[in-house]
Chain A
């Protein structure tokens, strides 16, 4: 946490891999400044190839979305909504609305007039990453055993095993993992965030968390982070951010994510699915349908030959 200096979990050495401790990322947009140092550090450490310098026109976000060559993605949300106790209203300086009038709804200025005068605006930055699901769609779908669960509970793609079948791509409820296209380095395989497993094995902190200047990305023990996240939400709500909430879908079949987020507003605005499901829950009904069709086809064939020959 900020202020802890080298005692912060983002800076000190650890032995989570040896101790088999579940780790996580807690990403907090309320302190993110949108510097994209995490994107750069991730690319540099993991030697992720560039995936095009495209101009999106979407605020300052020219990265777009997570993919085979984008493992951290800083979102830039521009919303016509109020941020916490932000004072919004007419921009003219000579005759501003006194602070007391906004604080006190009984004042002369009616709520309607205030609402009409409002021109709320907020800019939210959130660094998106692979969620390292408790029940991971990609891990369940992988037919080669290339995708594994590590000692620290993260989901890892073993690049040398992956043959690029592409089934994990459609099985991720968050649209994280993707197959890397030609002519990029290591094309053909599926790629996503490794949780810097190589760094973690050496007791180092993942590159994105290490460089984050405001500790918007916090790396640490999952249980500690969950407690810290809940505390931060409470703190923000008391500070007027009434729409602050944790994004950690523990109620769905995904059963929680190891890289969870604090968000302001609805998850949809961040391109996060409100109720993500691991696709294996659809297997039962689909297989029953397949077996029924198989049996029906055999019976049809036998009957056809029995009665028409």
Chain B
């Protein structure tokens, strides 16, 4: 502090006065940057703990969403006798079923104890439900894919072929059932926490994650060469829903409580993601640029997942957001 600063001058005045009068009335010097906190909270320390999750988790949200919703496309394709598309979609589902546990285990603090996840079945824990959804999804998707591939090879005839057909159908529909939950539960997972920016959007998040999963699955299948009208229609549906969600997100503001989304840089990841999956994908599709629309959607869906985790870290570290959310 330099000697000509205002507080230093005030101190000089006080010393002068004390020397002359023997007493100093009035307030002394306000110590700027001193230990008295000027902001609500305890020295700006976080009230809740920000998430400890790293890149594996948002990537898992993307992979799991894509894989889960691929199974939905697979069963719809199977219902309408697009066997090749159903196979391709179930390959994506099985790839998701393979990659998701790897990513989840990599993120664990003690990966070797991952099996402890299967000790309990806990409906009140979204994480526990997610683990079981993933287990059941994998148990359906991988054998379902094997059955479909065997069916496509025409190895068997007669009763065996029929049995295989039935098994492939049941397993594909099973994987679609658990796939929809796999794509949407992740929104519940982060929506039911103490992080203000997350729990204030607990209705938004499952819609966004599920729809982004469906759009990503359709987009990736299109990029793999399955350019059919049904997938294009699904692309339109997902982009339209994401556009609506972008509008909802920009209207549904909660001030300080979710300022991490609207005022902090990491909120831009969410908005960029929403623009790529929503309006941009929609416009590109309207102009017939299907591959670009597909790429735009996939990139947007990935960026937005990273955005939501980044925003959670900012929001969880912000004590004022926690207080504001509790006053809402």
A residues sitting closer than 8 Å to B (CB atoms) are 56-59, 61, 64-65, 67, 75-80, 90-92, 94-95, 116-119, 137, 140-146, 161-167, 169-180, 187-190, 268-277, 279-280, 282-283, 285-298, 300-309
Contact = CB atoms under 8 A, between A and B. Distances in A.
Nearest to A145: B120
Contacts of B326: 273-277
Given A143-B127, A166-B51, A167-B127, A65 B46 contact: yes
A117 B80 contact: no
Contacts of B270: none
Contact of B26 (A90, A146, A270, A285): A90
Interface string B221-239: 0000000111111100100
Given A143-B125, A277-B194, A290-B188, 13 more contacts: A78-B37, A90-B26, A167-B189, A268-B323, A274-B326, A282-B193, A286-B205, A290-B206, A298-B176, A301-B72, A301-B76, A304-B231, A305-B230
B214 interface: yes
Contacts of A67: 49
6 contacts: A119-B27, A161-B119, A277-B326, A289-B187, A293-B184, A294-B184
B230 A309 contact: yes
A150 B202 CA distance: 31
A285 B326 CA distance: 18
A283 B232 contact: no
Chain B binding surface SS class: helix
Contacts of B312: 170
B199 A165 contact: no
B114 interface: yes
Contacts of A272: 47
Interface in B308-328: 312, 316, 319, 322-323, 326-327
B120 A143 contact: yes
Contacts of B211: 293, 297
Contacts of A141: 125-127, 193
B199 A282 contact: yes
B193 A300 contact: no
A202 B89 CA distance: 59
A286 B76 contact: no
B232 A308 contact: yes
Given A165-B108, A166-B109, A283 B203 contact: no
B96 interface: no
B260 interface: no
Nearest to A282: B192
A177 B192 contact: no
B124 interface: yes
Nearest to B113: A163
Highest count of chain B CB atoms <10 Å: which of A57, A140, A175: A175
Contacts of A180: 109
Contact of B210 (A118, A270, A297, A304): A297
Highest count of chain B CB atoms <10 Å: which of A59, A170, A189, A302: A170
B127 A169 contact: no
B210 A64 contact: no
Interface string B49-69: 111110000000000000001
Interface stretch (B17-25, B143-151, B159-167): B17-25
Nearest to A128: B42
A144 B116 contact: yes
A91 B25 CA distance: 8
Highest count of chain B CB atoms <10 Å: which of A77, A78, A143, A169: A143
A140 B194 CA distance: 13
A145 B127 CA distance: 12
B80 A309 contact: yes
Contact of A285 (B76, B114, B202, B230): B202
B6 interface: no
Contact of A179 (B26, B46, B109): B109
A166 B53 contact: yes
Contacts of B323: 268, 273-274
Contacts of B25: 90, 92, 116-117
A142 B125 contact: yes
A116 B76 CA distance: 77
Contacts of A64: 45
A120 to B, nearest CB: 10
B328 to A, nearest CB: 10
